[in-house]
Chain A
């Protein structure tokens, strides 16, 4: 595992083109949280006429990762990211070509014959809504000036009835977009680090011993123990925590090369830990990092 923590989302200072997106839920909604205030496109995209979300950074930015959070893409939809060296989007520096929203997550040998997800190895339809549909894209390290996401497919409408699969939406919806560089943590095998998921349902008791549960929205979180921090890492970590405090968003990426792992475990969240850099030995420090997913 090579854990990367990203902050300083470069989209905050980027200009975004509004064409193709509604007025009440405009494209600029991807620049900021909350996740539940998304941008919605007017139509859905096709191969010839994809729906695009494009913009220009304020200055050339160094990027290693791009993400889209809380979208409504179906597993069968495709996305494409292009990055450019110039404002006019003529000099292509990176083109991801069409890639599936959800990468293969399971080995076909471990699945039942005839399952709905047998050939693609993605999630079974009924489980797809378990995770917020986040798209993660690794970018080769470089400096880029402009960007364009393209979407094709149908998108889904989330249904209030959990037993009904979402119907085709015929629009695309994105809650939050992310472009940034990141800080790679030297994870020394430290016992006690964990990826967590905490349900937020509220359980109340009834007379006679029964229980009644009010549903809530659970969240993922991580607790990372960093037992042997070098001085350089410690300094970078202090800078990071000072930048974000508890309020600014971060993205946690367990391994940028393993898309399946990213789908299940990566999230956009906030820091919830103070920095307690304990002096262990000369040049070696210890601290712990706790990040919590933003669900709204």
Chain B
């Protein structure tokens, strides 16, 4: 039985804003059976090329959390074929737009059911389409690009009071997430006779842990602070200072607590941020993978966006993912947001591939072999307000060496012991692997350092695994077993899928796998 590709895409009417769903398929044709939830629906058989995508998670050595997705095009026939009648798409293209609308690709066996037999290959939104005389070319766009929006949106009006002084007019309000050990708050001016600072743009916080004046800690009082005191309002993230004069004010903050939850983990912040950014709805976030991830990675992290920052949610998620070894956030073929760690392959394989049977064999990717590491250094507890000598109070310099050291350095470091086995094995050519993270506490950083060292001390090989059909059931991070003649594969080797590529027109499908 042949396999039919279905593409369902939507268009939005320019004037009325109504969404129309269009259903097309490859030339075998498709009509939904009578027992489907949408029965007797026909698909127009005009697809010339169904899907051409390639997605790869960060592989070893690139523990960067960046997922690379390259999407090709879906080409529909727009010819004046007398079999079809008029050019099928011209009217629609005049009245509707396609940019930003949904495009989903499914594969289904001929005469199968759309409900039970169709597997999703790709769930995307569209870029601008291209037309030529005979074709309509739809261009899917990687959904992670939807997160290229600024994190900070609300602005100060500059009207005075909690709306900021005139120089803050139209500047975006700062936000603080997780726990940040040292940041520079936004100065709002003198309010009710006291110097006032804001740390979370007026949103509730978990609490301010310390306020420093030239790195000398001030005392907290519930209200009406005196000369060396401060008070805080947790529902608005506002710090009120008692001093008449002050040097350089910085603070340690446990940040954003909107909706009563202090979000402080990697998974928690990505999950919340995905919905808060507006780029995804709650239903598009795969709760189960986030729950598993948060149980495995409970570190406290912190990130402060100072007023006026133009950073995007996408770079924020990348930074969060980079705080954990081999961690990635990505959107799977069903359009759900997931986060996961690329572990070495283990467990029960979901499918088996054998040379000559369903694959022409694996090919090693030699370009990504990196140097093994003998030691890992995790940089954590980032100090966003590194102080120079003149900005540190004398009593700190003389009496508080740990605080002094913290104030002058951007990061604390957690370092694993040198691995003598690796040194001996690689003739001391192994490197020291260093990574900057958003982690806040030493205990978490040491756990992460140990786990990272376990990961970067083995240089796991990547392979290309071409296969003979789309294998829609296999998702990223699934484990499969491969039998081949290459070393290590003769009795079958478990590998983990970290990328896939589909070129339907050329009939080429392949996976990128890692040991």
A binds B: yes
Are B44 and A249 neighbours in the complex by a CB distance under 8 Å? no
Q: How far is the CA of A171 from the CA of B33 in the complex (A)?
A: 11
Q: Interface residues of A: mostly helix, strand, loop or mixed?
A: loop
A:155-189 near B, CB below 8 Å? 157-162, 169-171, 173
Q: How far is the CA of A274 from the CA of B357 in the complex (A)?
A: 44
Task: Tell me how far the C-beta of A126 lies from the nearest C-beta in chain B, rounded to whole angstroms.
Answer: 14
Neighbouring A residues of B111 by C-beta, 8 Å: 157-160
Neighbouring B residues of A207 by C-beta, 8 Å: 355-356, 360-361
Neighbouring B residues of A25 by C-beta, 8 Å: 31, 40-42
Task: Tell me how far the C-beta of A51 lies from the nearest C-beta in chain B, rounded to whole angstroms.
Answer: 14
Neighbouring A residues of B84 by C-beta, 8 Å: 32-34
Q: Interface residues of B: mostly helix, strand, loop or mixed?
A: loop
Q: How far is the CA of A215 from the CA of B27 in the complex (A)?
A: 13
Are B2 and A216 neighbours in the complex by a CB distance under 8 Å? yes
Task: Tell me how far the C-beta of A248 lies from the nearest C-beta in chain B, rounded to whole angstroms.
Answer: 6
A206 contacts chain B at the CB level, 8 A cutoff: yes
Residue of A nearest to B44 (CB): A37
Task: Tell me how far the C-beta of B489 lies from the nearest C-beta in chain A, rounded to whole angstroms.
Answer: 14
Q: How far is the CA of A166 from the CA of B166 in the complex (A)?
A: 77
Are B109 and A36 neighbours in the complex by a CB distance under 8 Å? no
Are B42 and A214 neighbours in the complex by a CB distance under 8 Å? no
Are A34 and B112 neighbours in the complex by a CB distance under 8 Å? no
B492 contacts chain A at the CB level, 8 A cutoff: no
Q: How far is the CA of A206 from the CA of B360 in the complex (A)?
A: 6
Q: How far is the CA of A85 from the CA of B63 in the complex (A)?
A: 80
- Cβ-neighbour of A217 out of B28, B81, B117, B355 (below 8 A): B28
Instruction: Annotate B193-215 by CB proximity to A: 1 below 8 A, 0 otherwise.
Output: 00000000000000000000000
- For chains A and B in complex, what number of residue pairs have CB atoms within 8 angstroms? 96
Neighbouring A residues of B40 by C-beta, 8 Å: 22, 24-25, 40
- Cβ-neighbour of B2 out of A32, A159, A173, A215 (below 8 A): A215
Task: Tell me how far the C-beta of B119 lies from the nearest C-beta in chain A, rounded to whole angstroms.
Answer: 13
Are B1 and A162 neighbours in the complex by a CB distance under 8 Å? yes
- Cβ-neighbour of B42 out of A29, A202, A212 (below 8 A): A29
Neighbouring A residues of B355 by C-beta, 8 Å: 207-208
B283 contacts chain A at the CB level, 8 A cutoff: no
Task: Tell me how far the C-beta of B470 lies from the nearest C-beta in chain A, rounded to whole angstroms.
Answer: 12
Chain A: residues with CB nearer than 8 A to chain B?
A: 22, 24-25, 29, 32-38, 40, 157-162, 169-171, 173, 202, 204, 206-208, 210, 212, 214-217, 247-249, 294-296
Given pairs A36-B31, A160-B117, A212-B468, 8 additional interface contacts (CB within 8 A): A22-B39, A24-B40, A32-B85, A34-B29, A36-B29, A162-B1, A173-B31, A202-B507
Q: Which 8 A-B pairs have the closest CB atoms?
A: A36-B29, A160-B109, A247-B82, A160-B112, A158-B111, A33-B83, A25-B40, A37-B42
